[in-house]
Chain A
Amino acid sequence: MAITNIPTIEEKHISELRAAFEHRATWMYLLMNEARKKGLAWDDFARDAVFQCGCMHGDNLKSGMVDPSDMREFSNTFGAGSAHKVFEMEKKAADDNRFYLDFHYCPLVAAWQKLGCSPEDIAHLCDVAMDGDRGIASRFPDFEFTLGKTIAKGDPVCEIRFDRK
């Protein structure tokens, strides 16, 4: 399925922030690609690295919360701030038991497309990048993270789902 990834929010500083996300995605790909050229499989090193990044990020988010088991508080913490517009996030549900977000745009996919990555590599890179979110979720023992559809696989949105365990 061909990837569709077109931004609709064009605001001051959002493009600069997207460029910063693209910069990170570019480094990620280049580091992984050079390692692959040396015979190292992506899943053998990059997933652990990105997961650990996510854990640090999760700890940061947690430290800003009063009650890390409160899904409503989590829904106002995760994806808050400028990232909300960068990824064109839409809250599909946010209550005591679930927090569902759809992303309508992905600057990481945009970067990988600009680099000429194959659709297979983009889907793989996305799943490795999502280990960051899995790392974040691992710091919240009351929540379960599920990744649904993704832009990288050709879907119109990325479905980020947190459910109370």
Chain B
Amino acid sequence: MEITNTPKLTDEVTKALRGQCARRASTICLMLQEAEKEGLSEDHARRAIYKYGEAIGQDIKAQMKDPSDMMEFAGNFAVGLDRNIYEMETMASDENKLYIDFHYCPYVEQWLKMGKTADEINRLCDIAMEGDRAIGDQFTDFRFILGKTIAQGNSVCQLRFERRTP
């Protein structure tokens, strides 16, 4: 499926922040490429990004009064200018779930510019999503599910947090 990834928000601050996302995307892509040339598998990159997510998850947790409160989590996850960068839309937010759609991905944009294949973009995206998986893992009451992704050729990335059933 061909990738569609067109931004709607184009203000200067969002563009500058996306510029850094693009540099991160280049960094992970090229670091992985060079490490693989030296015989390393992608596992080290997955661990690296997972560790980043762990720290973010712990930061979010530290700001919450009740880390099992999905509504409070919704007020702390992906807030601020990140919402503009990825053109996020909250699809559902209640006591049991937080569903967010991303309508634009600056990482995919950069990997496309770098001429990466669809399979490679899908792989890089999945490695980058280790960060979100790690965030989810810091909350024992929630489960993170990655649904469709822009990298797979879908129109949005579906980030889903659901309350674990006892």
A contact residues vs B (CB 8 Å cutoff): 13, 16-17, 20-21, 23-24, 26-28, 30-35, 37-38, 40, 44-46, 48-50, 52-53, 56-57, 81-82
Contacts and interface: CB of A to CB of B under 8 A. Distances in A.
B27 A31 contact: yes
B52 A50 contact: no
B31 interface: yes
A35 B40 contact: yes
Contacts of B28: 27, 31
- Determine the main DSSP class of B at the interface with A: helix
Given A46-B34, A53-B26, A16 B17 contact: yes
Contact of A31 (B13, B23, B38, B44): B44
B33 A49 contact: yes
A40 B35 contact: yes
Interface in B45-83: 45, 47-49, 51-52, 80-81
Interface of B: 12-13, 16-17, 20-21, 23-24, 26-28, 30-35, 37-38, 40, 44-45, 47-49, 51-52, 80-81, 114
Contacts of B37: 45
A55 B81 CA distance: 29
B28 to A, nearest CB: 6
B52 A52 contact: no
A23 B20 CA distance: 9
A26 B27 CA distance: 11
A24 B23 contact: yes
